[in-house]
Amino acid sequence: MKGKVTRAENGEPLVGAAVEIKGTSRGTITDLKGQYELRVPNNLGELNIEVKFIGFKDIHKTVKVTGVNTQYDFQMVSNDLQLPDVVVSARRVEEFLQKVPVAASVVSSSDIERRSVYSTIEALNNIPNMMTDSWVASQPTFSIRGLASNFDNVGFESTVALYIDDVYFSRGFGFNSTLFDIARVEVLRGPQGTLFGKNTVGGVVNVISETPEFANNGQVEVNFGNYGFAQFRGKYNTELIKNKLALRLTGAFTHRNGYITDLNSVSNGYNKTIFGGGRGSLYYKPNDKTRVTARFYYGQDVKGENTFVYGSTEDGNPLGIPADTYKSTTSDVPNTFERQQFGGSVKAEFDLKQGRTLTSITAYNNSDDFYLGDNDLTKLSVSSWGRNQKLQNFSQEIRVSSPRDQKLTYVGGLYFLNEQVSGKDTFSLTKDFLPLAEKLMEKKFGRYNDYVETATTNSKISSQSIAMFLSGGYKVTSKLTANIGLRFTAENKKLSYYQPLTYFMDKGKPVGAIDYYAVELGSKSDPYETSTIDNVLSGEASLNYEVNPFAMAYLKYSRGFKGAGFNTSVSGDETGASLVFKPEYVNSYEFGFKSKFNERTRLNGAIFYVDYKNKQEILDQGYKIEVANAARTSGFGAELEFNIMYKRLRLDISGGVVGMRYREFMFGEDDYSGNKLLKAPNATFSVAPQYNVDLGDKYRLVLGANINYTGKAYNDISNYEVIARKAATIVNARAGIMPKNGKWSIALWGKNLTNTRYIQHGFEYEWGNQISWSRPTYVGLEMYLNFF
């Protein structure tokens, strides 16, 4: 008797499955191809065969003995004691993670739920060689393998490409990071310069939301915690036309008080997060060959928490007042924040002949936010700063893909993006700056209680990008596959910029302290204008070798680029020439492996070398903001992810090390060569255990923890120690009880249980530093109810 044992879900062979004749000592296990062979006596008539494999439901089957060789194949159904299959769309089609020659990590919907994750920032804490932070709601930062961009003006596009449901967002302030009803979040590390293309030098963060299904169900979630945290979220799915049309609606409301107390009661009234928003999606399947998904969203932030306090400088306290403590500050200008976002997309998929698929994605997005705050964060009146930034974009992508199980596979298409971005920065100096201005400018100033001088930058960027891409793979042998991809991008950007100054007049003459930071440049009727054009070929090549059905190794070369850009902040350059910076290029070399020894263990890893040319950087010291390209930047790194399921314990472990430095970087007369990159921690490490305990036949207790270590990282290119992010370990935990049918759940959660603190971000000013502290200990109660 012989045969094969496979997974019922996908037909993969199961290695080490036990095939036994019940009631006897006869048995065997399957080989690397999932095959078994068992000698049986021909005089037994019937045999009771039992097939067992950890993580799968046992199979009991009665077979007849015929006296000749007999073939019996078994398909096993998984249970909750095995690692689930992980799907990723790294090559713009859905594939199993273990088959894709890309360093990728996936945060699933179950991961999001079991860790009580409420934002993209939290969801990505377990990704090796990745660091995230957000000093205001509209400014998330994503750093992958030590590559990140300073996010301090609208002229800078993100080094890490941000996608939601296949739609690209060029800047973090337009990226809605509230997570709810998410199928998974994918992180692709390293340049993805072919299929994702635009601005992927660091990698890709791809958020994929749930698709409506032909069923009627829903969920209501309520969350309460300290610092006035209250969150209400709900989702509803309904089938409108049987097996043809489905609708899915989701909504969320969040309230939370700030963890930094503003001792000015008026300012403290603004110090809280208030967010509300919703999403909707329609899924239409008129026939077996056509699928259309339409999505739309709206979100509004009414207020945003202040995370900054006043900090001392290396040389002391220029204002003559002590630095703030961790938990409080005093501001004379309330920190106000408002944001409105809306948009939508239509994705249409058509099955063609020979298994090919045609995909069209049309999208529009709009984001508009406003921030005004105290620049010095003291009871003195030194400076204030406001920013209004807007983004509108329209994109269209068309691609054709072949089935992935052929000898020759391919994905190719066209991409178009039209983007309009505008920003208005208002930088004001007030009365208590004048004593400091005398030292900085070496001249005498009077004292005026009503003194205000302002620099107002007005910028508009119009950008069009057109790309053609093609990526293919060829199976050279049964185990060796060669892959190559190319992308041609033509990108045109135009900047319109003017910066008027408003002076305080004394006896008909301007006081002029604002001149230390800014100059008059252009006007509303005659703005300074410039443009850039980039025509660039990027791509990748790789070889992947299937060692056996459960292990794969690959070698990969990737070339990526990020287009030229503009500095839209306050400028002291009367010519305007310094507002433009050159495009940047990266060459990445990577060796990786992926292995899945059995259905309970998975081990993936990679080592890499990155060589950067003309990396775009901002020197941000207060409002002396300048832009330059670092001639050469390079570094090595490695990362590892290990997942194991043993009985009722699941353990996820990941870690990474990276060393990225500027090799050649002259910025004016300053030499930054040898400095570490900003937002580039030297190491990351994460451990996330989860243990399930049965409480009788009906209920289950789920205990989980999430321990994350992030090494030291600098918040600026000068590696200023006072505002550097120190190495820190954050401990989160969750304990939940639920019935085994998943109808409801009640959970207690805690975040940063050791109350560890570190500097998320910092700005260096002549009058002192702004320091954004990490969040303290948060605890809360989460309840949800499912409707089937």
| 267, containing H or E segment | helix 265-268
- Per-position b or e across 302-326, b if 16+ CB within 10 A of its CB: bbbbbbbbbbbbeeeebbeeebbee
* Cα distance between residue 175 and residue 141, in whole Å: 11
Pairwise CA distance, residues 66 & 88, whole Å = 46
Q: Which residue has the tokens 């006043």?
A: 310
pLDDT at 181: 82
Contact 606, 638 (CB under 8 A): yes
Residue pLDDT, tens place only, 213-242: 998 999 999 999 999 999 999 999 999 999
Q: 208-787: which CATH number, 2.10.109.10, 1.10.3720.10, 2.40.170.20, 3.40.50.150?
A: 2.40.170.20
pLDDT in tens, 46-63: 778 888 876 677 888 888
pLDDT tens-digit series, residues 622-661: 556 778 899 999 999 999 999 998 888 999 999 999 999 9
pTM assigned to the model? 0.87
Provide mean pLDDT across the span 482-488.
96
553 vs 2, 10, 105, 481, 605, CA distance in Å? 31, 22, 16, 11, 10
DSSP structure class, residue 338? E
Q: What is the pLDDT of residues 583-623, one digit of tens each?
A: 999 999 999 999 987 778 999 999 999 999 999 887 766 55
- Residue entry with tokens 């009640």: 746
Per residue in 608-626, is it b (16+ CB within 10 Å) or e — as a string? Answer: bebebbbbbbbbbebbbbb
108: tokens are: 């699933």
* DSSP of 421-472: EEEEEEEEEEGGGHHHHHHHHTS-----TT-EEEEEEEEEEEEEEEEEEEEE
Q: Which of 591, 566, 590, 563 is nearest to 577 (CA)?
A: 566
pLDDT at residue 524 in the model = 95
For β-strands 580-581 and 584-598, DSSP reports them as: unpaired
> Residue 267 CA to chain centroid, in angstroms?
31
pLDDT score, position 52: 84
Say what the pLDDT of residue 256 is.
93
Joined tokens for residue 665:
């970087």
Q: Which residue has the higher pLDDT, 530 or 110?
A: 530
Q: pLDDT tens digits for 361-381?
A: 999 999 999 999 998 999 999
The fold of the 88-207 domain, in CATH, is: Ferric Hydroxamate Uptake Protein; Chain A, domain 1 (2.170.130)
CA-closest candidate to residue 80, choices 126, 114, 29: 114
pLDDT for res 63: 80
Domain ranges (residues) in the chain: 2-76, 88-207, 208-787
Could you tell me the end-to-end alpha-carbon distance of the chain, in angstroms, rounded to an integer? 44
Distances (CA, A) of 215 to 12, 212, 252, 278: 29, 8, 22, 20
CB atoms within 10 A of CB 447: 9
Flag the least confident range among 313-322, 409-418, 532-541. 313-322
For residue 386, the SS3 value is strand
Beta carbons of 63 and 44 less than 8 angstroms apart: no
The two three-digit tokens of residue 636, written as one number: 């090595």
250 closest CA partner among 211, 284, 290, 288: 211
Q: How far is CA 531 from CA 197, 463, 494, 503, 571, in A?
A: 21, 10, 4, 31, 18
H-helix or E-strand spanning residue 110: helix 109-114
**Per-residue confidence (pLDDT) for residue 705, from 0 to 100:** 94
Which CATH fold would you assign to the domain 2-76?
Immunoglobulin-like (2.60.40)
Cα separation, 126 vs 640, in Å, equals 11
Is residue 397 within 8 A of residue 412, CB to CB? The reply is no
Q: What angle do CA 115, 117, 122 make, to 5 degrees?
A: 105
Whether 5 contacts 19, CB under 8 Å: yes
Q: Average pLDDT over the chain, rounded to whole?
A: 90
Statement: residue 124 has pLDDT above 70 = yes
Beta-carbon contacts of residue 247 (< 8 Å; ≥ 6 apart): 212, 237, 238, 240, 280, 281, 282, 283
Both structure tokens of 223: 């969350």
Burial class (CB in 10 A: 0-12, 13-18, 19+), 372: middle
Cβ atoms of 366 and 342 within 8 Å: the answer is yes
What letter represents residue 16's amino acid?
G
